[in-house]
Chain A
């Protein structure tokens, strides 16, 4: 992978996972793949944080999990967004956008390097 891979900001992973599940139920591996694909391989989710995050979201009631069959006919644990998860996603998304805008504004403002 070329270029720097930014570390996921604290809390961003939850947002990404919830957003990914908008497209329908998916298993852990699939979620990681989707995030990687959609970010054009920029955001690589560390499995070490993915599964704890999924289970944390499940504990909070934002996603629900059940066993299903994967594309290649294996038993896999599928996560799906719950109504509470959808509300949460909206909230997190708004927060993220506000945050990103603020960062962009700062980056756009002209500044002069100290002489």
Chain B
């Protein structure tokens, strides 16, 4: 073991090594002089005296080495020498170095960038104290997946559970915020008292919302997100204590501001207290997300058992589905819950980008092998001069590790930009946006990857470069070694082709799925539709006496705007999630599930929803007339199979004061996609707004315009202001909405496709490189064949046959690997079988063609071989 003082001494020697070397030199010279004088004193002549002294002394350079060795400097010396040598030899081959660095920078940069996201999303703990104690709870039922929780169930949980120190419910929605400077729209999270106690994050300003804020007569409170506070209130600390209206217009008091790092739930702009007492809540109003902090000493498993016991009890108390869906509870740590959706995507991307890096490494390794051939002579001479095999091995490895380190450094710099690019490309909310700077883990990982990659690309050239037959080497290159190198080179090509095949198939199935998704008919017009989500404050719009005039007023104004062909309003965003409802069908036992939308009369025409049978709503269908409904095709086929649905009647207990009223089906319309293009249509029915006017506070205005959609927005805002100056709206376009639903798919497809394309290019370079090398090595043989009368076709076949084997093997292996991959990403596919023939065939063809193209140049070179020159060449 080195003691500290000794280590320091060594360091000092290292730092002052120039002087140290001079000192040693002088010391040795002094010795020789003293020795010379001694000989002189014995009577030798000066010349002989000095010669004798020098002879006795032996090799001064060797002694110098040994002296330095005594100070533990040899390993450092060797390293410095190896590195210096590596730099020299890399500079001697600038082309190779540039290509290698580019490949490594892109490969390592991509890997580190993806790892930065993996780290932030899956590895780093959430920014809460003791994050593994924070759980999220979902309800679940067979075949219904996991779903949010109802207020009554949440209240029962809170009362009955013995596992959680605190339990909180929250629901997120877009709301109108009203303060002295006018209305704004914001993403507001309505939280119950313990929300901030569960997460336990200190506020930036003021105080958090506390349980006492939730009693029915306490003033309601709101806490602002840091970004929102900056954006909307200019970061004014004076906002604390100010009143703000939210949603229904009731006054809230701003009590606090959260720190910038706090982003839960993702995208939240403000958190508002709420009162969940009273009995206006339905057990099937599944809107609440529930989080809780485990009591000390309670395990996740214990909590799960506890919560499931409660779920079983609740199911016994409220057995029917219309009362209570849930049969069990899911308890999962918040971190796992975050990672759940991203895991497959991130693992896929990380694997893909590492594959690309691997292909790049294979290329560099085989290029290294080929370079090694040209350096055989150099290595031979070194060996002859006494360099050991280990020494050569180290030298060759040092070169590649240096390459890896420089490439890694460039890659790390690149990764910072790449992460920004990924975040820009990714749909909002998909990736965590805070904490995407490289931390120690990312940097360490990048460094390890760089060294690992250096070793990986260096090991083959080093092994081959340091072992050979000396005579052959100095004499002019052994063919045996060349054959072995070629074999290794071709194995690398097969591996590259296999990996590229896997990536191309992966990219292919995603692209094909995307095409299928795009081909899906959303059931509504998407071009020229502008939407505006509007929430009327309940305080001023409590009844139909206020709501109906508002919508009449607004629609009238919008209808006359330039370019507007028609306009309407509906209770749910088109193509968005619709509220579920249980309806009773006349003549049938029990309740059935059917989505429900409230619309104005021109809704179907405006949205381009096709009328299949019967009629749409008419302005004359008011509350004095027979109540009517229009159902979609799926509903008609599901509940009245083989019958004419027109004239059939339905009703629903959930319809406020219309609960007992039968609604007669007057029309059947085409299906509209539920939530996204990818989901199946489901049974839905529409009700005319004048026949249920008490629920018109939250509607989406839809406008069909023939003009530019952007130019309509300011006019629309003006009309909205004229209808009510204190009602803001979120304006967007239908095509934008469709685009939003496609974003995640597009993101993954773009990334995987990009990686696959990169791998393809690398594989082509690899094939080209090995074939060039092999063809060059066989120039003489080809020359002889030409001289003996081989035709052009024969030579071409000879060259191409070499590549065909490895490429073929690679394609087959790759196809097998791809079959595994598509199963892994099956959940990302749409409308195609996992073993999608076009994707597999496409990848196969693309690779085969690329391989063929990569063979062209070496093949042409082979054809131009002049037998006379080739045979004489040696």
Query: Which positions in A face B, CB cutoff 8 Å?
Result: 27-29, 47-48, 51-56, 58-61, 67, 70, 72, 74-77
Q: Which of the residues A48, A52, A75 comes within 8 Å of B26, measured between beta carbons?
A: A75
Residue in B9, B31, B56, B58 whose beta carbon sits within 8 Å of that of A59 in the complex = B9
B contact residues around A56 at 8 Å (CB): 70
CA distance A21 to B35 in the complex (A): 20
B72 lies within 8 A of chain A by Cβ: yes
Q: Which residue of chain A has its CB nearest to the CB of B68? A: A55
B626 sits at the interface (CB 8 A): no
B351 within 8 A of A: no
A49 to chain B, nearest CB (A): 8
Contact in complex: B9, A61 (CB < 8 Å):
yes
B251 an interface residue at 8 Å Cβ cutoff?
no
- Which chain B residues lie closer than 8 Å to A60 at the CB level? 6
Closest to B27 in A: A77
Residue contact A59 to B35, C-beta cutoff 8 Å: no
Q: Which residues of B contact A67 (CB under 8 A)?
A: 23
- Across the interface, name the chain B residue whose C-beta is closest to A67: B23
A-B interface pairs (CB < 8 A), number: 67
> Residue B70 contacts which of A27, A29, A55 (CB distance < 8 angstroms)?
A55
Taking a contact as CB atoms under 8 Å apart, the answer to whether B71 and A51 are in contact is no
* A27 and B28 contacting across the interface, CB-CB below 8 Å: no
B83, chain A: closest CB distance, angstroms: 24
Give the distance in Å from the alpha carbon of A61 to the alpha carbon of B12 in the complex: 14
Query: Which chain B positions have C-beta within 8 A of A61?
Result: 3, 5-6, 9
- Do A75 and B30 form a contact, CB below 8 Å, given A59-B72, A61-B5, A61-B9? yes
B26 close to A47 (CB less than 8 A) = no
A29 cross-chain contacts in B, Cβ below 8 A: 30-31, 34-35
Q: A47 contacts which chain B residues (CB < 8 A)?
A: 31, 56-58, 63
> Residues of B contacting A27 with CB < 8 Å?
27, 30
Closest A residue to B65 by beta carbon equals A52
Interface of chain A: mostly helix, strand, loop or mixed:
helix
Q: Check A48/B67 contact, CB under 8 A, given A70-B30, A74-B33.
A: no
- Complex Cα spacing A53 to B70, Å: 7
In the complex, what distance in Å separates the CA atom of A27 from the CA atom of B32? 13
Q: List 30 A-B contacts (CB under 8 A).
A: A27-B30, A28-B30, A29-B35, A47-B31, A47-B57, A47-B63, A48-B57, A48-B58, A48-B59, A48-B62, A48-B63, A48-B66, A51-B28, A52-B69, A55-B68, A55-B71, A56-B70, A58-B70, A58-B71, A59-B6, A59-B10, A59-B71, A61-B3, A61-B5, A70-B34, A74-B30, A75-B26, A75-B30, A76-B27, A76-B30
Q: Tell me the dominant secondary structure on chain B's binding face.
A: helix
**Interface check B37, CB cutoff 8 A:** yes
Of A52, A53, A54, A77, which one neighbours B30 at CB under 8 angstroms? A77
CA of A10 to CA of B68, assembled, Å: 20
Of all chain B residues, which has the CB nearest A53? B70
Q: A29-B34, A77-B30 are in contact. Are A51 and B66 (CB under 8 A)?
A: yes
Q: In the complex, are the beta carbons of B63 and A51 less than 8 A apart?
A: yes
Q: Are A52 and B31 interface neighbours, CB within 8 A?
A: no
Residue of A nearest to B3 (CB): A61
Whether A28 contacts B27 in the complex (CB less than 8 A), given A48-B58, A52-B66, A52-B69, comes out as yes
Give complex CA distance A60, B2 in Å.
Answer: 9
User: Which of A27, A59, A77 has the most chain B CB within a 10 Å cutoff?
Assistant: A59
- Residues on B close to A: CB < 8 A? 3, 5-6, 9-10, 23-24, 26-28, 30-31, 33-35, 37, 56-59, 62-63, 66-72
Excluding A29-B30, A51-B28, A56-B70, 4 further A-B contacts by CB distance (< 8 Å) are: A47-B56, A51-B67, A55-B68, A67-B23
Q: Are B34 and A52 in contact (CB under 8 A)?
A: no
Q: How far is the CA of A93 from the CA of B3 in the complex (A)?
A: 23
* Residues in chain B near residue A28, CB distance under 8 A: 27, 30-31
- Expressed in whole angstroms, the minimum distance between the Cβ of B72 and any Cβ of chain A is 7
Residue of A nearest to B69 (CB): A52
Which B residues are CB-close (under 8 A) to A53?
A: 70
- A54, A61, A67, A77: which has the most chain B beta carbons within 10 Å? A77
Distance in angstroms from B63 CB to nearest chain A CB is 6
| Distance, CA A103 to CA B816, complexed state (A) | 75
Q: Which residues of B contact A58 (CB under 8 A)?
A: 70-71
Q: How far is the CA of A67 from the CA of B6 in the complex (A)?
A: 21
The 8 residue pairs across chains A and B that have the minimum distance between CB atoms: A55-B70, A56-B70, A52-B66, A29-B34, A77-B27, A55-B67, A29-B31, A52-B70
Residue of B nearest to A46 (CB): B58
CB distance from B1 to the nearest CB of A (A): 13
Given contacts A28-B31, A55-B67, A70-B30, contact A77 B9 (CB under 8 A): no
* Residue among B3, B10, B70 with max Cβ neighbours from chain A (10 Å): B70
Per the bound structure, the CA–CA distance linking A51 and B66 in Å amounts to: 8
CA distance A70 to B31 in the complex (A): 11
Q: Which B residue sits closest to A74, measured CB to CB?
A: B30
- Best-buried of B6, B28, B31, B37 by chain A (most CB within 10 Å): B31
Closest chain-B Cβ to A18's Cβ sits at a distance in Å of 15
How far apart sit A110 and B198, CA to CA, in the bound complex (Å)? Answer: 91
How distant is the Cα of A59 from the Cα of B843 in the complex, in angstroms? Answer: 64
A51 to B59, CA, bound (A): 12
B42 to chain A, nearest CB (A): 14
Contact B27 A72 (CB under 8 A): no
Write the nearest CB–CB distance from B53 to chain A, whole angstroms.
Answer: 10
Of listed A27, A29, A67, residue having the most chain B CB within 10 A:
A29
Q: How far is the CA of A69 from the CA of B30 in the complex (A)?
A: 11
Q: How far is the CA of A35 from the CA of B648 in the complex (A)?
A: 122
In the complex, what residues of A have CB within 8 A of residue B58's CB?
47-48
* Minimum CB distance partner of B53 in chain A: A47
| A58–B72 alpha-carbon span in the complex (Å) | 12
CB distance from B194 to the nearest CB of A (A): 64
Cα A2 to Cα B610 in complex, Å, equals 122
Choose among B35, B37, B69 the residue that contacts A72 (Cβ–Cβ < 8 A).
Answer: B37
Which of B5, B6, B67 has most A Cβ within 10 Å? B67
Q: Which residues of A lie under 8 Å from residue B3 when comparing CB positions?
A: 61
Nearest residue in A to B56 (C-beta to C-beta)? A47
A48 to B32 Cα, complex, angstroms: 12
**Chain B: CB-nearest residue to A52:** B66
What is the minimal beta-carbon distance from A80 to any residue of chain B, in angstroms?
15
Rounded to whole angstroms, the CA-CA distance of A25 and B455 in the bound complex is 50
The CA-CA distance from A48 to B66 in the complex, in Å, is 9
A52 to B73, CA, bound (A): 12
Report which residue of B27, B35, B67, B68 has the largest number of chain A beta carbons within 10 angstroms of its beta carbon: B27
Smallest Cβ distance from A63 to chain B, in angstroms?
Answer: 12
Q: Write out the residue numbers on chain B whose beta carbons fall within 8 Å of the beta carbon of A70.
A: 30, 34
Nearest-Cβ distance from residue A75 to partner chain B, whole angstroms: 7
Q: Which residues of the partner chain A approach B33 to less than 8 Å between Cβ atoms?
A: 74
The CA-CA distance from A14 to B59 in the complex, in Å, is 22
CA distance A65 to B63 in the complex (A): 18
A38 to B287, CA, bound (A): 100
Task: Give min CB distance, A59 to chain B, whole Å.
Answer: 5
Q: How far is the CA of A77 from the CA of B9 in the complex (A)?
A: 17
Q: Tell me if B63 and A52 are in contact (CB < 8 A).
A: yes
> Which chain A residues border B62 with CB–CB below 8 Å?
48
